[in-house]
Amino acid sequence: MLGRNRALAMLHRAIECSAADMTQATLDIGESNLTRFANSMIHQNVSERNAQIAVKAAIGKRIGYATTNRLDDQSVEAVVSKAVEFARHSQENPDFVSLPAPKPVPTIDTYDERTAAYSPEDRAGAVAGMIAEARRVGASAAGSLSNGYQESAVVNSLGVEAYNALTMADLTTVMSGDGGHGYADRISQRIGDFDPIEAAVEAATRSVRSRSPEPIEPGEYDVVLLPYAVVELVEFLAYLGLGALAVQEGRSFMCGKFGQRITGEKITIWDDGLDPRGLPRPSDPEGVPKQRVDLIVNGVANAVVYDSYTAYKEGKESTGHAIGGAGAYGPMPVNVFMRPGGSSVEEMIASTKKGILVTRFHYTNVIHPVLTVITGMTRDGTFLIENGKITKPLRNLRFTDSILERLSNVELISRETKRQAWAVVPAIKARAFRFTGVTEF
């Protein structure tokens, strides 16, 4: 660990040697560790330590950006000089106003010593238990278990100063056997928050239930989407149009829709980077404190998130949603929550005369960002529902559908939610999901 004082001191030195009108320096340094397994054997164990200093320099309305992963004084001075030189030779950006001014950043606990210190032997022991669970049901286990830590710091010439250390643990597994596949994942800033064996039981059970899948004719079906599938819809909404730059460039589904209903009234979606139920952090890469933003409220388009560039462009303040780098992608919500309902998955199934239960989606891509049309495939557990019961496993199906249309047809939402990488979401039941093809597996 570099620590707060050393990290900020390094960035202050970078700011002091800059000849630009305004300068921002950020540091990300950390360690990531990964144990990967396939065919019920560990086949890879790796650990990586790396660091990056990034410098954004502004001369008038000209902006330059440069990075290095060398932290000695000479390299830091060199990357600052590069950013300043790039700024001098860049075209003016008429919409640039300023780097953000300092604001108080809350202190939150995002670092867990056990997670940072989790060893290769610890990961191997957890994976061994998962493999044993797969063998118990005659399945083969694959997946990965990772842990690590990251220190992030930012300083700018206007007085911004922020530092945060966080840890992360991530587990993914697929169990396979006799044509059946089951999936489970877990993520948290504290590895003690989840049980690898419990995740293995979930995936193994689903792999058994999905053996010998049968084909079904493509068409429109009512669906019960587990959180693994729902998060895909929510993440694509965030990516496609819940940031201010997408609105300003006219490519967001929110354009011209603020104050209007864009989904069913059961749907409320917000972003809150300080909520401990997600993966919190106190500020964004510009050092702006995180704010809660209510994006869609009871189906009505309400707001989008801002970084300093897009906020100044509209005479507003950043909501703390810069995503780092040169800023080309604009702000994005990455701690999204979808309001739960009052049902269980079992109740959703019981209320379905004929439909399909989807565990998760795979290889999803965008067809039309403004209409939120995406396409992809089901994977690792797709089942037919008849007269309120799961009757048989199905071969995977291709779908092409509009996220907003499907969220306009949500009938039930589960009371339980699941934490994923970008979002905390429930399961949903929706009408008339469009399946366009069937696979051979």
The structural domains of the chain, with segments of one domain joined by +, span 4-199, 213-441
The predicted-structure confidence for 122-134, as pLDDT tens digits, reads as follows: 999 999 999 999 9
The predicted-structure confidence for 137-167, as pLDDT tens digits, reads as follows: 999 999 999 999 999 999 999 999 999 999 9
Residue 331 has pLDDT above 90, yes or no: yes
Give the predicted TM-score (pTM) of the model: 0.96
Three-state secondary structure call for residue 320: coil
Mean pLDDT of 219-242: 97
Residue 315 has pLDDT above 90, yes or no: yes
Mean pLDDT of 181-194: 98
Mean pLDDT of 168-193: 97
Residue 327 has pLDDT above 90, yes or no: no
Q: Does residue 407 contact residue 264 with C-beta atoms inside 8 Å?
A: yes
Q: Does residue 137 contact residue 210 with C-beta atoms inside 8 Å?
A: no
CB burial of residue 260 (10 Å; 0-12, 13-18, 19+): exposed
Beta strands in 232-353 (DSSP E): 269-271, 293-297, 300-301, 336-338
Residue 439 has pLDDT above 90, yes or no: no
Write down the mean pLDDT value for the chain.
97
Total residues found in the chain within this entry:
441
CATH of region 4-199, choose from 3.30.2290.10, 3.90.480.20, 3.30.465.10, 3.30.365.10: 3.30.2290.10
Mean pLDDT of 170-186: 96
